[in-house]
Structure 1
Amino acid sequence: MFKENFYNDLKELAAIPGAPGHEYHVVKRLVELIKPHADKVEVDHMGNLYAYLEGNQPGPTVMIGAHSDEIGALVSTIEKDGFLRIEGLGGVSEALLIGRKVEVNGHFGVVGVKAGHHQAPDEKRTAPPMNQLYVDVGAKSFDDVIEMGINIGDPVTYISGIDRFTNPDLICGKAIDNRSCCLLLIELFKNLQERNFSGKLVGVVTAQEEVGLRGAKVSTYKVNPDYAIVIDTIACGDTPDVDSYPVEIGKGPVFPLLAAGQKSANGNIMAHQMKDLFVRFSKEENLPYQLSVTANGSSDVSAVHLVKEGVLSGAIVIARRYSHSPVEVADLNDFETAYKLLEALVKNIDKWGNMDFVK
């Protein structure tokens, strides 16, 4: 039942456009979904959502965060003939934009592609740079575009619904990164209504993760948690074009021990206390898990752990193929396993033990 409900809810939530800085429609829906299960819900001026739930006995403040935004673009220019130029937001790829259906501030559009009949041989082998791409919204002039309600600075996101493979556990679509983990957070609040945990749980859905982990910095400062867990997705290595990265879909959630490389100021080395905690509970609950060390990619945890005096933080992430594309692929079993681990961690906060750096 978990997988069926999760799939159906994700179809709805992932379809809502939410480019960085323009997450308002997503956040509005998330407020509606989580408010009945929280003591209090707030949204700050940046678009970060905060949901609070008090446990039945004293304990630490634990923040669990996921981000609401997806990669996208903004309208940068409106041409006199009604075509739109765009500027990318986040890790959007020119090669994946060409010929795609997109939504522009509520309007249908397509990213234009030069007909193969008109392409020179070298053009057939390369993707145009971002400043040469354009969006066709069916307008014939600048004035047509303005009358439609589209203007410079409006968000552009993929149109690509969530679908299933013949194997019903595998799903595909846009914004699995990271609407999927927003749903895990909501599911956690639903199942903690008996408040059978210690301390305070603060569920945070951050804005603008895809453009520099910005919401995470603001929200962590506000919450000032004792511990933080970030839930997100991560690129995997189980396709023919990736070598020597042993992370696969369907093998359980991933604990990224090193993210964004040793030389990056925006990276994260997971605290050994959090790694040990995640591994211990996974084993106790008989749940599969994977360990990851990669020079690429990051998540909100890279910002969270540096706030104020430093927050003891760790990430639990879900492997997905074809990252930052309109055809991200993930396994529903991984989300179910991650949920079970999160629930076990929260319900047993009083069993976390000594979390000091030196024990």
Structure 2
Amino acid sequence: MRELHWADEALDTVLRRVGETARQVGERFPLYADPADGHWTTTGRGSWAGGFWAGLLWLRARRTGAPADRAAAAACTARLAPWTEADTATRGLILWYGTALGDGGPLRARAARSALAAYDPALGLVPWGAALGGPRSRARADGVPGLVPLLASAGTGGETVAAGHLHRHLDLCLDGSDTGRPRPSWEFTEATGWQAHPEPEPGWTRGEAWLLLAVADALLRARTPAWRPKRLHESAQLLLEQGEFLTGTLVPPALARYPDGPLDTSAAVIGAVALLKLALLPGPEAATYRTRAEDVLRHLVRTHLTPPGTPHPAGMLRDGCYDMTSGTAVRHALVWGDFFLALGLAALRGHVDLRRV
């Protein structure tokens, strides 16, 4: 195994930043931070990203073992409870990543039952929902990660629904694409059936990373025919090829059609964690996946993570793109980018089992 002391040092830097963030935001949830001064834009309820803040607090608590850090993580997780009944497929992002690393079992179980009840057999998935605005009957790539393991945690029926939810998204995003890249957003109406939705557009690299992460999670859980493991392996290979996860730049642009536009380090680090998960599967490609994930994480640490001893706050993963279309926070630190960086570094060092997160 290659020398990984840099990963431990980087993880500690990121988690020290978690402490600074906690003092700054109080009981609010950080969303994105200005790279110049580290000031966070926050939300009161966490929006779709609230679970990543809870997850960061749990990673800090696991690293330090301090009772106060554990209490802070538990309190933050408890504040996610209103999202269990919210009409949004992003419950997976909120309530899986916000509970999987800590003491969130009862909340996670409640969220899994609620998500299972939201499954629409006619659509073949849990709809995107109306809680965050826009048409309810949509399928989006970011409505799959987190929701697959959350649904699967609801027992045999949950596993069947989780597999169906994922495969319907793969039917649309991969098989329904005519662009050479996954088409991340679809809308259903009774009059037209499923039709491609223009936003987000194909080439949204974070959407491609979300899909790969969801497929990797499913492959780690595929023990029954409902998961269709052969099709999952084929989908993983297609995503790896179309998203250039093994051959493209270590940090992709936020939108593929703007190769000189803003980067998205959060897409890079989500993809790296997905590769680390794929590396846990048996097969000759495992070493290739892990090596590429290490290369991405090392590059992010050396090039995009603010180090100690600079005028800028240490521990920020800069150059994340919240939303290029609206021009919102296009070169910022993003709470989910920080989370997946910390998760990937912790996994490299054996502090976290990615089969369980």
TM-score (norm 2): 0.26
Of structures 1 and 2, the larger Rg is shown by: 1
Q: Which has the higher strand share?
A: 1
Kindly indicate which of the two structures has a greater share of residues assigned to helix. Answer: 2
TM-score, structure 1 length as denominator? 0.26
Q: Which has the higher contact order (CA 8 A, sep 6+)?
A: 1
